[in-house]
Structures are given as structure tokens and as C-alpha cells.
Amino acid sequence: MKSLSTVIGAALLALSLSAVAEDAKPAAPAAAPVEMGTEAEAQAMSEKAAKLVDEKGEAAFETFKAKDGGFQAKDLYVFCMDETGKMLSHALKQDLVGKDMIGFDKYGDKPFEKMVAVSKSAEGKGWVDYKWPLPGGTDPQDKKSYIIKNTKGFFCGVGVYVKK
């Protein structure tokens, strides 16, 4: 009986020492934040996307989705919508494709309604200011997207977080 108590005691001691050692390990470093694009880079990518859509139509969507397609850099990516607010292409969130986004108002500023208005404007292009959380975050941040209507009748845009 005494040896059983000794074995159980030793096992409990080993478990508690293991738990203490685990707690003492340094925390894993936080993931490095994604490098943020600039307004100039967002506008240039949006203009480049419009040219590709003018040439290839909706076939350009596959290029936008490809990580090595030249349309994803830093935190920048291309999305495209029709003028009713339906998401036609989204480089990072495929689950949004086909969804009607015109009434989206989670952050109180109806960004897609504003984007459609810019697309329908005489110029057919411009900046739209709105709130959107950082990738992986939940708190809305200041963001803006450069929207350009293409010759195929829809628009594409690239967004950038506003640096304070």
C-alpha cells in the first residue's frame, strides 16, 4: 500500500511540475501585422483591374482570386459588384459572391450603397469612405475604396485602411 501511495504521489508531482513548466513557457510571438497598402497603390490596382475587365470581362475574376495574379498585395485586393449591389467577385471572401450587399449597414454607413452611387455617377469612378474591421478584427476602422466602372457595366474596387 505504501508503494502505491509513493507511485501516485510521484505521478501527481510529475503532472504538477509539467503544468508549471507549460505555464512558464514564453508566449508564442504574435503574428506580424499585414503590411498596409497606400491610397495610391489601391487606386493603381483598381485602375489595373478595370483595364483587365475591359479586356477579359468576368474571366478576370479568376486572376483577381489568384494569389500570384498580381491583384493581391499587402492588404489590398479586388472586389467587383453590379449596379444593383450584388457581389460578383471578391478575391478573399468567396462566400460573398452572389450576395446582395446593397442594404449592408453593420457599421452604420451603407458602404455598398455609396459604391453603387459612385459607379452610377457621370464620372463612374472615385473614392468611397466607410468603416470596416481590420482583417481578423471586429472593431470598425476608417477605410476607403477606389471604385471604377468598367465597359462591361459593373464596377470593381480596391480598399485601403486610412492611416491616422
Q: What is the pLDDT of residues 131-143, one digit of tens each?
A: 999 878 899 999 9
Average pLDDT on 73-80 reads 96
Distance between CA atoms of residues 18 and 154, nearest Å: 60
Average pLDDT on 93-109 reads 95
The helix/strand/coil state of 145 is strand
pLDDT tier, 70 (very low <50, low <70, confident <90, very high otherwise)? very high
CA angle 66, 69, 75 (to 5 degrees): 75
- CA 58 to chain centroid: 21
Whether residue 82 is predicted with pLDDT greater than 50 in this model: the reply is yes
> For a pLDDT cut of 70, what percent of the chain falls above it?
80
Average pLDDT on 41-53 reads 98
- Pairing mode of beta strands 140-149, 72-73: unpaired
Out of 12-21, 35-44, 74-83, 98-107, which region has the weakest mean confidence (pLDDT)?
Answer: 12-21
Domains in the chain, start-ordered, CATH in brackets? 39-161 (3.30.450.20)
